[in-house]
Amino acid sequence: MDKMRPQKRGGFRKQVNSWWNNLTEGQRTVTGIIAANVFVFCLWRLPGMRRIMFTYFTSNPSSRALCSPMLLSTFSHFSLFHMAANMYVLWSFSSSIVSLLGCEQFIAVYLSAGVISTFVSYVAKMATGRFEPSLGASGAIMTVLAAVCTKMPEAKLAIILLPMFTFTAGSALKAIIAFDTAGLALGWRLFDHAAHLGGALFGMWYVTYGHKLIWKNREPLVKAWHEMRTKNTGKGGGGRSN
pLDDT of residue 240: 43
Average pLDDT of the chain, as a whole number: 86
Handedness of CA 69, 70, 71, 73 (dihedral sign): positive
Domain-wise residue ranges, the chain: 26-216
Q: What is the mean pLDDT of residues 73-99?
A: 93
Handedness of CA 218, 76, 86, 199 (dihedral sign): negative
Q: What is the mean pLDDT of residues 36-52?
A: 94
Q: What is the pTM of this model?
A: 0.83
pLDDT, greater one: 155 or 140: 140
Q: Which residues are catalytic?
A: 138, 196
CATH class of 26-216: mainly alpha
pLDDT of residue 239: 46
* CA distance linking residue 208 with residue 176, whole number of Å: 19
Q: What is the mean pLDDT of residues 162-184?
A: 87
Per-residue pLDDT for 235 more than 70?
Answer: no
Helical pair 80-101 and 138-151, crossing angle rounded to 10 deg: 40
Q: What is the mean pLDDT of residues 83-96?
A: 93
Over residues 185-197, the pLDDT tens digits come to 888 888 889 999 9
Share of the chain above pLDDT 70, in %: 90
